[in-house]
Amino acid sequence: MGLPSRGAAAAGLGPESAVVRPGPPVVVPNPIPTLPPEGAAPGSSRVPGMVLKAFFPTCCASADSGLLLGRWVPEQSSAVVLAVAHFPFVPIQVRMLLARVQQAGRVGLAVLGTWCHHRQEPEESLGHFLEGLGAIFSHEPWLQLCRGRDGWSWSCKATRRQTPPSAATVGEDQIMLILYDQRKVLLSRLHPPAVLPDRQAGDAPASAGGLAAVFDTVARSEALFRSDRFDGGPVRLSHWQSEGVEASILVELAKWASGPVCLLLASLLSLISAASACRKANVLVSVLLDVTLGLLLLSWLHRQDRIGQLADALIPVADHVAEELQHLLQWLMGAPAGLKMNRALDQVLGRFFLYHIHLWISYIHLMSPFIERILWHVGLLACLGLTVALSVLSDTLALLTFHIYCFYVYGARLYRLKTHGLSALWRLFRGKKWNVLRQRVDSCSYDLDQLFVGTLLFTVLLFLLPTTALYYLVFTLLRLLVVTVQGLIHLLVDLINSLPLYSLGLRLCRPYRLAAGVKFRVLEREPGRPLRLLMQINPLPYSRVVNTYRLPSCGCHPQHSWGSLCRRLFFGELIYPWRQRGDKQD
């Protein structure tokens, strides 16, 4: 049945209840309207046109003839086509469908025009019929898109029926047809601000505001894509799901594996893929990877009695370290590198540190029967994750090198005491003193006895400083070596906890899911035919993926710059480079 006439509508068969089917054969015009010349008279019968941008999904390029459903963006002069409604259909059902989608997705959808594919329909069968649909679904402007039988020739026309009274004909607008992959645009996330690469030959620039409107329109129209399954709904549509729904990348990777463990991982990964935000998925993937690596480490430790081997090797290693420290102290108590040290102070410091090493060796041998059991229970913590095992390893290293930490603290305190004393006595020679209440240096007059005592103390401290500084330097280097190893462990823990693995995997396997912008490639630019462009998504760079989706870390972080660290070491201040955020230094 063709389009109902005015008489049929008057008899009760209106457009709201009529089933619309293709009508009698009429030739469809295929010109591209041009703008009137600049010197055209104001009372001309031709209404001046404008350039409109029509975003058309590539998945609908082979769809049957029907209606163009989408959204009109007036501020961008753009029409975003979302689906094609095929013949036959009831107009009131189309309006009900658009109203339901608008209520669910809060995006205003309308019938933008008609779509004609001459491969399914004869070219001379849709003329007045397609033009008459504009009276049922009134929209300004009314689009008419046609694709030729060869698949390469396209016809685009936009007409406006609401014209000034002086105009005798309907105005036509020029159309810039932009093809886009609806599936990629729907699944991608446009990261503002859109960073577009340098344009190449054949590419066209893009507007950030227009891109945001296009991406937002497609993303909020999921209710339209779920409204039917192409055969069961009252209105048969063509959109991106004609090519199938894309599964999660994690699920697809799991399908490549086999076995019960992989099936369990696939079920867990399907739960991860259901997360709406990439940050939640990154947290779940990070925890899953952490626990998996911890279980592998636990399996390796309990295989072939490796914990017993580690316990047996720990005592000889501790004895070797203590023996090397004893050799180092004996070298310092002599003439290290030919330096002339203060003999008395050198012997006192050397024997003091040797006694501490003796106490440490006795403590290690006292704990040797329980080391294997302790390591066994500590190894069980690996089931909580690799980061837990690494944190326990860092604490164990701190306990095993506790004597080195004590040597460093003793040397730093003694060195700092002498540097503070020398600085205070140096102010005495210059007639200055430190005002504790006002926290500043003030002028002060000293008598002769005070200057004499100050000179003696300054001389003693100055000649004792090289011996103290040498012990402080040696033990500081040992302390920095231990801190460096602990810092590497903390960096590894922080990397595991904060690295956005899910987003990086998404960027590697599905780069269009994280979009930094788009670029346009010219498909056809010939006189007499509409300009056709292909919109392609530029993926987000890996560095920006890491910076954008990096998880917040709760670990320890360096509190000092290199300059501040060197200054604190020079003045003998204690350093704790890997403290918790917000902690204060002593």
User: Which helix (H) or strand (E) element contains residue 41?
Assistant: none
439: left (phi over 0), alpha (psi -120 to 50) or beta: left
Domain architecture of the chain: domains with CATH: 24-35+45-177+207-240 (3.40.140), 250-300 (no CATH), 302-498+556-579 (no CATH)
Question: 110-117 and 142-147 as β-strands: parallel, antiparallel, unpaired?
Answer: parallel
Rounded alpha-carbon distances, angstroms, from residue 432 to 112, 202, 305, 435, 513? 87, 76, 68, 9, 68
- Decide if 272 contacts 285 (C-beta within 8 A): yes
DSSP letter, residue 159: E
In this structure, which amino acid lies at residue 390? L
CB atoms within 10 A of CB 426: 12
User: Which helix (H) or strand (E) element contains residue 337?
Assistant: none
DSSP letter, residue 75: G
Token couple for 46: 């031709």
Q: Check residue 415 and give its pLDDT.
A: 92
Q: Coil, strand, or helix at residue 247?
A: coil
- Decide if 19 contacts 46 (C-beta within 8 A): no
What is the C-alpha separation between 130 and 22, in angstroms, rounded?
8
- Decide if 164 contacts 135 (C-beta within 8 A): no
Q: Helix count (H) and strand count (E) of the chain? A: 18, 16
Token couple for 548: 């954008």
Q: How far is CA 577 from the centre of its chain?
A: 28
Q: Check residue 17 and give its pLDDT.
A: 47
Token couple for 36: 């009137």
User: Which helix (H) or strand (E) element contains residue 583?
Assistant: none
How confident is the prediction along the chain (586 residues), in pLDDT tens digits per residue?
Answer: 333 333 333 333 344 445 555 544 333 333 333 333 333 333 433 444 578 889 999 888 888 888 899 999 888 888 999 988 887 778 888 888 888 888 887 788 888 888 887 665 554 555 556 666 766 787 888 888 888 777 777 888 888 766 544 444 445 567 888 999 888 888 888 876 543 344 443 444 445 567 888 888 888 888 888 765 434 457 788 887 765 444 444 444 554 555 555 556 555 555 555 444 577 788 888 888 999 999 998 888 888 888 888 888 888 888 888 888 888 888 888 878 777 788 888 888 889 889 988 888 888 888 888 888 888 888 888 888 899 989 888 888 888 888 889 899 999 999 999 988 888 888 888 888 888 788 888 888 888 888 888 888 988 888 989 899 999 999 999 999 998 898 899 889 988 888 888 888 888 888 888 888 888 888 888 777 778 888 888 888 898 888 888 887 665 555 667 788 888 888 888 877 555 444 444 4
What is the C-alpha separation between 251 and 265, in angstroms, rounded?
9
Lookup result for tokens 């003998």: 572
Give the residue from 522, 526, 523, 520 showing the smallest Cα distance to 32.
526
Q: Which residues pair with 537 in a beta bridge?
A: 518
CB atoms within 10 A of CB 234: 13
Q: Which residues, including other chains, have CB under 8 Å from residue 291's CB and lie 6 or more apart?
A: 383, 384, 385
Q: How far is CA 571 from the centre of its chain?
A: 42
Rounded to a whole number, what is the distance in angstroms from the first to the last CA of the chain?
Answer: 90
Handedness of CA 503, 504, 505, 509 (dihedral sign): positive
Question: 142-147 and 154-160 as β-strands: parallel, antiparallel, unpaired?
Answer: antiparallel
Token couple for 424: 């205070």
What is the C-alpha separation between 212 and 230, in angstroms, rounded?
29
Q: Which residues, including other chains, have CB under 8 Å from residue 146's CB and lie 6 or more apart?
A: 28, 30, 115, 116, 117, 118, 154, 155, 156
Q: What is the pTM of this model?
A: 0.63
